[in-house]
Structure 1
Amino acid sequence: MKIIKKASLLALAIFSFSCFALENKTLKVGLEASFGPFDFRENGSSEVIGFDVDIINAIAKEQGFKVQIANMPFDALLPSVLTEQVDVAISAYSITEERAQIVKLEPYYDSGLGVLVRSDLLKDIHSSYDLQGRTICARSGSTGSYFAENIKNSKTKNYLTEIETFIAIDKGECDAIIIDKPVLEFYHVRNHDDKTAILNDKLTFEQYGIVTSKNKTEISDSIAEGLKKIRKNGVYDKIYRKWFDGSKK
């Protein structure tokens, strides 16, 4: 019993040290600022805002570290964490088995893929099954792109950002978009778009994760602890209501 108690106290001491080790330090946080409502710029402003930005800043406040935002292409996020060019990445980054093998992913948001289609095709497209043989837009390197590429006889067009996919469907370059459903809803509400429609299908259940290096346990432990605190004290719920309608997912 004494041995177990000592081991537990040692583990607690190590965890506490790892969290306090970040106090007053600045962590470089990578994201892609074209993914509203998670990470984006408003009306040409240089300031990056969104759900992810508020979440990481709330965690930083709880844990006593500072945040320096680094905007970069989505495909560069994971390599930047692995090469320690950034300390953390948060950009609606879906957790997959492959990604979890090489980085630490702390779950912070439940999501899933959705489908946006051209309104003139609604008579023919009622579900993801009807996307067979269609041209589909997606963001390069995303789970949406992977899903689209596995639809029988379909053609996938990959773009660097979600905004480019919306421009493409407006121009008639594709029949549908497959990306995260919260982003589709955000785009649709803000643009009052009658040229497109969101299907009821939720193609997948996914969780977004805050990305850290497996070699930086002091950072991943602090992120996990801070996230736990803001869930408990109501800050997470407040941020959620700021950016999304309805109850917390």
Structure 2
Amino acid sequence: MSKKMIVLLVLSFFAVSLALAGCGGQPAAPAKAKVLKVGSDTAYAPFEFQDEKSKQYVGFDMDLIQAIGKQMGAEVQVQSMNFDGLIPALEAGNIDMAVSAMTITPDRAKKVNFSKPYYKSGLTIVVKSDNNTIHSFKDLEGKRIAVQIGTTGADEAKKVKDAKIREFNTMPEAFLELKNGGVDAAINDKPVNDYFIKEAGGKDAKQVGEPLTAEDYGIAISQKNTQLVEDVNKALDTLKKNGEYEKIYVKWFGVKPPKE
């Protein structure tokens, strides 16, 4: 066999190898997992907050959204932002969804879509432990009230006659103002108030009166992405059926979720 023939055979071999690779002869590179950009106000324990040691975002919402992402075969990337910036970020397309103990309200539903409710909450009043003058919503008239900007707590506080409202970017700031005596009370979601009193408030604060409202939390999603709403609801249903949702709930609240 001539050298020329050998060269032609070698070239032909490589050409066939390349053709096979292009037609599936070689395994294709694994597809990258879909990334879901999730906005959250990460200063709202026990739903979302930053662990002091690991610096990771942890909490009920964080565990839940990671479990939902896993069900959907997606990677969840959490972006920390102020609560009042979450809906604008969704509208601008900067994030895919927001999970941040967000109450489903008619006004918000005009701007974003919500998943099925995943947590039932309500607003309560927190005062300093030595306060013996505030016992109910009525007693807040003319008082100084701390709230977080953009929340249903802020909306309720604004209904109080002659009240002096102080709005803060985060609830830890509002709680600190209460602890320092800068306000007479704070209005916020009950589970967050419970956590504050247990973990930080201790002897310094207490809750008074009955819950002011009954509220459902939902995952907020852009109105342009109806398919994502369906996918999230499907994943949430699966987590409730397979027991994973209950495990996460018990981990953070110490009790089983109420029956639906």
Report percent identity of matched pairs. Answer: 38
Please state how far the C-alpha of 1:24 moved relative to its aligned partner.
2.3
Letter in 2 for 1:39: E
The aligned residue for residue 137 of structure 1 is: 146
Q: Is the 8 A contact 2:50 2:56 kept in 1?
A: yes
The aligned residue for residue 86 of structure 2 is: 77
- Residue segments in structure 1 that go unaligned for 5+ positions in a row: 1-22
Write the deviation string for residues 221-249 of structure 1: whole angstroms up to 9, x where unpaired.
Answer: 11111001101111101000000022314
Larger Rg: 2
The aligned residue for residue 210 of structure 1 is: 219
TM-score, normalised via structure 1 length: 0.88
Q: Is the 8 A contact 2:87 2:111 kept in 1?
A: no
Please, what is the CA RMSD of the aligned residues?
1.5
TM-score, normalised via structure 2 length: 0.84
d(CA) in 1 for partners of 2:181, 2:130: 11
Which structure has more RCO (C-alpha within 8 Å, separation ≥ 6)? 1
1:30 aligned to 2:22?
no
1:247 aligned to 2:237?
no
Letter in 2 for 1:80: A
1:119 to 129, 134, 137: 129
CA 1:132–1:192: 2 relative to 1, 3 Å: closer
d(CA) in 2 for partners of 1:136, 1:66: 40
Greater shift in the superposed pair: 62-71 or 175-184: 62-71
Letter in 2 for 1:158: E
After superposition, residues 128-207 of structure 1 pair within 5 angstroms as 128-191=137-200, 193-207=202-216
Q: Is the 8 A contact 2:137 2:209 kept in 1?
A: no
Please state how far the C-alpha of 1:205 moved relative to its aligned partner.
0.4
After superposition, residues 6-17 of structure 1 pair within 5 angstroms as none
What is the number of residues matched between the two proteins? 227
The aligned residue for residue 11 of structure 1 is: none
**2:247 alignment partner, SS class:** helix
Which aligned segments of 4 or more residues in structure 1 are displaced greater than 4 angstroms? none
Letter in 2 for 1:55: L
